[in-house]
Structure 1
Amino acid sequence: MYLTTLTNKNIRYYLLGGGVSRLGDVLSGMAFLFLAYDLTDSTIYTTIMAIAETIPYLLFGLIGGVIADWIPRKRLLILLDSLRIPIILSVFLFHQTGLLSFSYLLIVSFVIQTIGCFFNPAHRAILPMITQAEQRASANSLYDTVSRGVTILSPVLSVWLLTYGTVYFFIVDALSYGISIVCLRKIHFTEEKNLAKKTVRTAVLSIVEFFSWVRKHTKVKYLFTVTFLVVFFNTWVWQVGLLLALTELTSNSKELYSILQGVFGAIVIITNLIIPYFIREMTLKTYLIGALLWGLGITYYGFMYSLTHFFIGVALVGIGLPLSSLARVYMLQTLVPENMHGRAFSSNAFLLYTANTVSLLLFGLLVIVTPIQWLMLGSGLMIITISLAALTISSVKQSKFRGSSPIDF
């Protein structure tokens, strides 16, 4: 199945360019934080740098999807990559000449992430345009596998680059954008011209139009709602809570946290590769089953709360998360009209980043007065409850409207 998908030259170049570009993004993301700390020796300024990497998605995430639907996507992607190369190289040049300051580094980080708000939805929207319907599940799986593989490869590459200096991360990032441009030029597909009037007013109306469309399409509405809630209850307990729990239980928390992330990444990759062999068409039910497994994993390591059981819980999350993630992408590709794909993926990203930000802020306050184990257990149980409730509703509606679509609200 994967060999058949990879015979499509467009998909090969899409995976190569996207994977290399993703590797550069991960490395530069780490480099911004490393340099911020080197320049200021302050955890507060380093935190500000981390916030600068997420705020653009809250400010420009939705408008990025509109632009991705307005402008020919291939031309837009090549233009954005071409802009990123000199911007990212300027950090290297300023550093080598002794002119680099925290303020400049903060501005560059903000600009690079802002460009990402426009690049990511356009790049994601290309995949359904270069694949046939029967290839979509395997192509999504391959792309997610490449993206996850990059997160495992990046720490190894970063250790090697650190022997030369943090600033060389930016050279690799600039090279990755160059490779991305070459790959994008090799991809060929037909795009329909968007004749819409391109003004600020029409941009706002375009966003309103998409959310009005979502309101009338219950599957997509449920998908967005459940995604926001699941990510909200997951983000803190996964990104921060797990590390803090390990700190309570062992003196080797950082090492064990890295090992757990490695185990998680390996299971996600294996799951991604296996799923298309069993599931060709993904529905809301597929998504909810993935979310249920995801919640079971968090509940398990929250309830057992010991090192051995953390590995079992993380393994369950590693099966549930990619299942729900692939189902979400597949549904957006198939249920949303092609001329709205940019807005669909940018809206999805906006919801994810909003859920992440709110989760980190709220749980960051709750942990002051609430034990970490309780927060983990409560979050896992909430994800299970949400998933089961949505599954129950979908089953009732399916039996009521038997003979229509697999899940019909």
Structure 2
Amino acid sequence: MIILNATKFCIATFLSNLGDVIYSVVIAWYIADVLQSGFLMGAVLFSLGLSRFIAGLLCGPVIDRIGAKLFLWLSDMIRTIIVLVLAILLWDHTISFVILIMVSVLFGAIDAFYWSASESIKPRLVATEYLSRLNSQYFTVVRTTIILGPLIAAWMVESISIEHSLIAISILYAFSTFLILFIDSKNSHLENINDNNDKTSYFSDLRLGFSFLNRQKMIFYLVITMFFVNIGANGVNVLFPFLAKNVSDDAKYLGYIYSSMSMGSLLTGLIFSVKSIHKVELKIIYLSFLLQATGIAALCFTQNFLIILIFVFVIGLITGFIGVLIPTFVQRSVPIHLLGRVNSIMMAISMLSTPVAQFIFGVSVDYFNIKYLFFIAGALGIVTSLSSLLINVRKGTPRETVM
């Protein structure tokens, strides 16, 4: 039953995330091709990111109180309806600026609930010793949708129109909604621990999540480390197109770079999908951050494209390893009745680093040589991870909570 639950969860995740990726590409193409508005593109992305951040900070107590499975189901159900309505509106009309902004705000908030609920439900699906496998499978599924989604979206837009593409996306969400109904998340392998008091207010529940992070200093330091390391790691994505341009005017070189990183991440995900990680220590996470940042900084020292691809592949490998380690550590260290709150706060702070990185490195590329920017991105990660590693060694690693 436990394996079947995890399988249903991963399939539902694949369908839902594939819908998300295809939707993002289709809407971006609609704005660029039909509306032809750079301002609208920026406004949609900004409203999406802002609503994700705000909802991410606030959604945790609700997920912990009501249940992660319900929010997974509601998220996909609401997205099914929204995308269907958009398809109907597009049939005879152009979608207005106001509607697109409203939809992006809704999608951003729904994403925050969905992602936080996905992380919170995992310990209820498998025993603790199998969490790293489930996290690896989840990571592999998400990375696969990121690779396949744009290809499918491009084919859809060219072959079956935007309206029919939106209908196909809604079908993906609907199938995911259906699968979630059959996931059993009743803690069959756990004690039914629930320290939530139904009489407590939403704000007291929210404060409890922040106070937990404040008390658990090592986890708090991890959140801060993630924020600064991610600025460098996300900044690299802004720099890659310019790196490819320096090599050749042929766009396929940018594809090679992204494919190399994706293959590295996928390989890590596949390895740990069948091999469990029995113990996760913060120092291993910080060392992984350090290796990732060193690989990024090393890109400034070579002009050979083959060596660049090797470095990027290794960065992808380490990024995949980090993507498995962090959720596994959090799920083992945080009491299950607080997972929604802690995950949502961590997710919101981590996501905030993306627009910060995009702005800083996007502006900087007009003023600085790209190889110096790779070094700066890597140096930021090296300094941050080394500092956190030294703090961790000095103060000791927190013990994992037994759930």
Do the aligned partners of residues 21 and 278 (structure 1) sit closer, same or farther apart at CA in structure 2, a change above 3 Å counting?
closer
Equivalent residue number for residue 168 of structure 2: 172
Deviation at 1:260, TM superposition (A): 1.5
Q: 1:327 aligns with which of 312, 325, 346?
A: 325
State how far apart, in whole Å, the 2-side matches of 1:176 and 1:186 are.
16
Report which stretch shifted further, 130-139 or 106-115.
106-115
Amino acid at match of 2:221: Y
Q: 2:34 aligns with which of 8, 30, 39?
A: 39
Structure 1: any 5+ residue segments left out of the alignment?
1-5
Q: 2:185 aligns with which of 163, 186, 189?
A: 189
Q: 1:283 aligns with which of 267, 281, 284?
A: 281
Do the aligned partners of residues 364 and 263 (structure 1) sit closer, same or farther apart at CA in structure 2, a change above 3 Å counting?
closer
Q: 1:84, 1:177 within 8 Å by CA — same for their partners in 2?
A: yes
Amino acid at match of 1:133: T
Deviation at 1:405, TM superposition (A): 4.8
Q: After superposition, what is the alpha-carbon deviation per residue over 1:48-80, rounded to whole angstroms, capped at 9, x for unaligned? A: 222232111122111122221121222232233
Amino acid at match of 1:270: L
Do the aligned partners of residues 229 and 150 (structure 1) sit closer, same or farther apart at CA in structure 2, a change above 3 Å counting?
same
Alignment pair present for 1:146 and 2:148: no
Equivalent residue number for residue 266 of structure 2: 269
Q: 2:257 aligns with which of 255, 260, 263?
A: 260
Q: After superposition, what is the alpha-carbon deviation per residue over 1:150-186, rounded to whole angstroms, capped at 9, x for unaligned? A: 1121133123212212333322221122111221111
Write out aligned runs for 1:168-247 (5 A): 168-190=164-186, 194-197=196-199, 202-236=201-235, 238-247=236-245
Deviation at 1:196, TM superposition (A): 3.3
Write out aligned runs for 1:307-318 (5 A): 307-318=305-316
Deviation at 1:266, TM superposition (A): 1.4
Equivalent residue number for residue 385 of structure 1: 383
Q: 1:56, 1:110 within 8 Å by CA — same for their partners in 2?
A: yes
Amino acid at match of 1:277: K
Do the aligned partners of residues 109 and 405 (structure 1) sit closer, same or farther apart at CA in structure 2, a change above 3 Å counting?
closer
Do the aligned partners of residues 217 and 395 (structure 1) sit closer, same or farther apart at CA in structure 2, a change above 3 Å counting?
same
Amino acid at match of 1:187: I
The two structures have a TM-score, normalised by structure 2, of 0.90
Deviation at 1:203, TM superposition (A): 3.0
Equivalent residue number for residue 295 of structure 1: 293
Deviation at 1:143, TM superposition (A): 0.9
Q: 2:133, 2:276 within 8 Å by CA — same for their partners in 1?
A: no
Amino acid at match of 1:138: R
Deviation at 1:47, TM superposition (A): 2.2
| Number of aligned residues | 392
State how far apart, in whole Å, the 2-side matches of 1:348 and 1:279 are.
22
Report which stretch shifted further, 150-159 or 374-383.
150-159
Deviation at 1:138, TM superposition (A): 0.8
Alignment pair present for 1:368 and 2:366: yes
Deviation at 1:15, TM superposition (A): 0.5
Q: 1:338 aligns with which of 318, 336, 339?
A: 336
Deviation at 1:128, TM superposition (A): 0.7
Q: 1:302, 1:377 within 8 Å by CA — same for their partners in 2?
A: yes
State how far apart, in whole Å, the 1-side matches of 2:261 and 2:214 are.
35
Deviation at 1:99, TM superposition (A): 4.4
State how far apart, in whole Å, the 2-side matches of 1:41 and 1:99 are.
12
State how far apart, in whole Å, the 2-side matches of 1:95 and 1:101 are.
10
Do the aligned partners of residues 165 and 135 (structure 1) sit closer, same or farther apart at CA in structure 2, a change above 3 Å counting?
same
Report which stretch shifted further, 227-236 or 378-387.
378-387
Deviation at 1:396, TM superposition (A): 4.2
Equivalent residue number for residue 30 of structure 1: 25
Q: 1:124 aligns with which of 88, 102, 119?
A: 119
Structure 2: any 5+ residue segments left out of the alignment?
none
Amino acid at match of 2:28: L
State how far apart, in whole Å, the 1-side matches of 2:162 and 2:260 are.
26
Do the aligned partners of residues 50 and 211 (structure 1) sit closer, same or farther apart at CA in structure 2, a change above 3 Å counting?
same
Q: After superposition, what is the alpha-carbon deviation per residue over 1:289-316, rounded to whole angstroms, capped at 9, x for unaligned? A: 2212211221111222442332122112
Q: 1:288, 1:324 within 8 Å by CA — same for their partners in 2?
A: no
The two structures have a TM-score, normalised by structure 1, of 0.89
Do the aligned partners of residues 209 and 290 (structure 1) sit closer, same or farther apart at CA in structure 2, a change above 3 Å counting?
same
CA-based RMSD: 2.2
State how far apart, in whole Å, the 2-side matches of 1:42 and 1:159 are.
20
Deviation at 1:218, TM superposition (A): 2.5
Q: 1:302, 1:380 within 8 Å by CA — same for their partners in 2?
A: no
Q: After superposition, what is the alpha-carbon deviation per residue over 1:305-345, rounded to whole angstroms, capped at 9, x for unaligned? A: 44233212211211211112211101110111111111122
Q: 1:296, 1:316 within 8 Å by CA — same for their partners in 2?
A: no
Q: After superposition, what is the alpha-carbon deviation per residue over 1:196-241, rounded to whole angstroms, capped at 9, x for unaligned? A: 347xxx33333322122112112211211111110012212x2211
Deviation at 1:278, TM superposition (A): 7.1
Deviation at 1:284, TM superposition (A): 0.8
Q: After superposition, what is the alpha-carbon deviation per residue over 1:238-275, rounded to whole angstroms, capped at 9, x for unaligned? A: 221111222233201x3222222122111111112224
Q: 1:63, 1:203 within 8 Å by CA — same for their partners in 2?
A: no
Deviation at 1:7, TM superposition (A): 6.8
SS at match of 1:223: helix
